[in-house]
A = this chain, B = another copy of it.
């Protein structure tokens, strides 16, 4: 299997939603992305946790084939986010963010990870994402996620990052904020002018749009009877997407988008990483077929 380096947050999430309160479940962008990709590639995780991070959680990641030798254990407590979702899960408010050891995160890529063929830069400060790129050799493909916080506070670094990645994965709202445009074609044109050859705009319950030169692909979100928790859906999408490309040697971006959408659809069926921790390649393959049934005409 191809090697896939994932750098991002590893965290505790306390989630209040229509199902109740869920205290300190395992989360973080690197966790979700690594789990989503773990059945498709040799995933190498780089992140930081505190001394309170449970050994069982690390064991769970390892049991999925994820190389956790880049998961630094720092003195202090693990990054903790607490938030409350609206009943329809379309919006959320942050109650508390305790950066803890994540405040001083300075990703060090182990020597054995520096030859990674595929690189996913999860949603961390663009300065840190750039620092990761300085440490890896010649990856076949680099994708990055970002968020409104960095658009507001680190725009110059973000713009530099955009010139150094192949694929940007970004929420629709944040893509609009970054470009000042509303309609998808205008948004994508402006983003691609900033650097990345390919742009993927995530639209939550409405799916995702892929823009590659003049080519546009529109993927739906998988319709579910009930959604438990959308936390990590975007990271699972990115993990499933890049995992597909790693498994298949970077060929069919459309199939990869569907694989990412499939991974995200499993993610949201459970609170935290519950469903992803059980995910098999067969589950993904079956859901990719279901996506075909959903969209063919």
Contact = CB atoms under 8 A, between A and B. Distances in A.
Interface of A: 87-90, 182-186, 203, 206-207, 209, 216-220, 223-227, 252, 254-255, 257-258, 291-292, 294-297
Residue of A207, A209, A291, A294 with highest tally of chain B CB at under 10 A: A294
Contact of A220 (B220, B223, B226): B220
B216 A183 contact: no
18 contacts: A88-B182, A183-B223, A183-B224, A183-B225, A183-B226, A185-B223, A186-B226, A203-B206, A206-B206, A217-B295, A217-B297, A218-B220, A218-B294, A219-B295, A219-B297, A254-B297, A291-B297, A296-B296
Nearest to A292: B297
A88 to B, nearest CB: 4
Contacts of A217: 294-295, 297
Nearest to A218: B220
A177 to B, nearest CB: 12
A104 B223 CA distance: 42
Contacts of A227: 183
A296 B219 CA distance: 9
Contacts of A257: 297
Contacts of A203: 206
Given A89-B182, A252-B297, 14 more contacts: A183-B225, A183-B227, A185-B223, A185-B224, A185-B225, A186-B225, A207-B220, A216-B223, A217-B297, A218-B220, A218-B295, A258-B297, A292-B297, A295-B297
A165 to B, nearest CB: 23
A87 B182 CA distance: 9
Given A206-B203, A206-B206, A223-B209, A294 B183 contact: no
A269 to B, nearest CB: 12
Contacts of A206: 203, 206-207
A171 B88 CA distance: 17
Nearest to A254: B297
Contacts of A87: 182
B223 A294 contact: no
Nearest to A255: B297
Nearest to A290: B216
Contacts of A297: 217, 219, 252, 254-255, 257-258, 291-292, 295
Contacts of A216: 223, 294
A182 B184 CA distance: 25
A185 B297 CA distance: 20
A294 B217 CA distance: 5
A216 B186 CA distance: 30
